[in-house]
Structure 1
């Protein structure tokens, strides 16, 4: 039987559909690594669109079962996706700041509809678990296009104060200029340039903390961040974590239930539509 095994998977016999999926993703990864720049362009957009469509196909693939070689390729791909996503958001956010009423033109962003669906899903899960109209919310990793915070603030949490944390000062500057045209948003939405690992007692102010998918791209970093937030957030506070399942895990980091032993797990939801991120809601236990 050894001759039938695929050597790139360290002796494991993967189902044919999994082998084909990995081969196609690997091919796209090779093409992406050869790009001179990840800034939006016809070639960049085409490659990442193909990758996303491929990863959205229904798949039972489990990244834990993959070879070290494929795991390393996946980690590289997540970093590349994160950079490309950041550059795409920055380009559109900068464009929006140059036109009148940027908040009325958010739908020009190509993935705006996905953000609306994800924010609606997350707010629905929060509401089902008793987190309704929280007084203060922290969004960690808000980026230059803080779409989740804006959608939540305008459609779901109309009296909530949002603190958006990002490590990138340029991203926060552009994001701040997007909301600057709305006096009410300026009052309710702040942008703070800080590494969340340096934020301590302040984390205890929030009723709910949202952690963007690309904050902590490696498992080690994600676990450090989750541990830090757990230590300083308020008892009884909610933490919303974005994750991924199946082939979507080639785009975003995965958070498993066993990674959240410091918390009470309230809900885990894996979408099957064009929303890519899974949503995990946990609560810090009240001692």
Structure 2
């Protein structure tokens, strides 16, 4: 497969070309016996990510049915591969003495650093509160990078509850943060389906919803559930995707947000993949 780096388009990449290349990679990924980290898996997903962050005018809603189906399949494959990558790296970290010192060896660590900085900036700009008292991160997984980065670099007095449906993931995450007494005392890990967490959601000043919690159909139900139980005036930060980045992650549509006050929506144009959607629960919808 030729590397996208040989492309010399000026400005935006033609949508038809980009989709054709993405479909080729999807076909290659679909043939893999395993999505566990390996040279072949890493090369394919690295090419895919680099393609999807190229500037283009792709409108996901306008894609033909065949491409829509491929996109849904690709999101599932990406989620599985990301989960296996995190699991392998978290297992490695859990066995060394100072795992937090080796976080930057994770392949997408810098992306998380940039995204956390964006999200923290959006929170300050729209709430005026630099240090929230209590934050929930939904879908934290075995490598709770966002929570760790926010807790260590931005929110140095905030308490974090990491909520994940997988107890194995939570056990690994607990081991990783246990090496740092200061971080550990501000971080809890709760094993639960977010749809079964109710009154507890009212404890948080901010709830962050990871991009891969629920597919696009489930996301609207999850948003409605969180809004029902979160505190009045509380903030919900949702990760979404736009354009070709939506071949990697589900999109949160604006019509799904009608019950919230939309504080800001930011679509990155650099190597950060996720869009940042900041919402507030309010009786007054605007």
Q: How far did 1:16 drift? A: 9.0
- Aligned counterparts of 2:84 and 2:167: Cα–Cα separation in 1: 14
Q: Which residue of 1 aligns with 2:152?
A: 154
Aligned match of 1:4: none
8 Å CA contact 1:257, 1:265 repeated in 2: no
Residue 257 of structure 1: how far off its partner (Å)? 2.0
* Gap regions ≥5 residues in structure 2: 1-11
Task: Please say if 1:233 is aligned against 2:234.
Answer: no
Say whether the 8 Å CA contact 2:13–2:55 is kept in structure 1: no
- Indicate the RMSD between aligned Cα atoms, in angstroms: 1.3
Counterpart check, 1:97 vs 2:87: no
Alpha carbons 1:149, 1:162 under 8 Å: kept:
yes
Distance 1:111 1:157 in 2: 21
- 2:210 counterpart (191, 207, 212): 212
Taking the TM superposition and a 5 Å limit, the aligned residue runs for 1:59-208 are: 59-130=56-127, 131-208=129-206
- Counterpart of 1:250? 247
Give distance in 2, aligned partners of 1:24 and 1:93. Answer: 32
1:101-154 deviation line (CA, Å, top 9, x unaligned): 111111111111110000001000000012421111000000111000000001
**In the aligned structure 1, how far is the partner of 2:80 from the partner of 2:280?**
30
Structure 1 distance, partners of 2:67, 2:49, is: 18
User: How big is each residue's C-alpha offset from its partner over 1:236-282, in whole Å with a ceiling of 9 and x where there is no partner?
Assistant: 00000001111000000111222200100000001111101010000
Deviations 1:194-231 (A, max 9, x none): 000000000000000000000112x2101110010011
- Give the match for residue 23 of structure 1: 20
**TM-score w.r.t. structure 1 length?**
0.93
Total equivalences in the alignment: 272
Q: In structure 1, list runs of 5 or more residues that go unmatched.
A: 1-14
For 1:16 and 1:243, locate their aligned partners in 2 and report how far apart those are by CA, in whole Å: 22
Per the normalisation by structure 2, the TM-score is 0.93
Match of 2:46 in 1: 49
Q: Tell whether 2:261 aligns with 1:264.
A: yes
Deviation (angstroms), 1:45: 0.4
Instruction: Give per-residue Cα distances to partners, 1:45-86, cap 9 Å, x unaligned.
Output: 011001001101001111100111111110110010001001
Counterpart of 1:129 in 2: which secondary structure?
Answer: helix
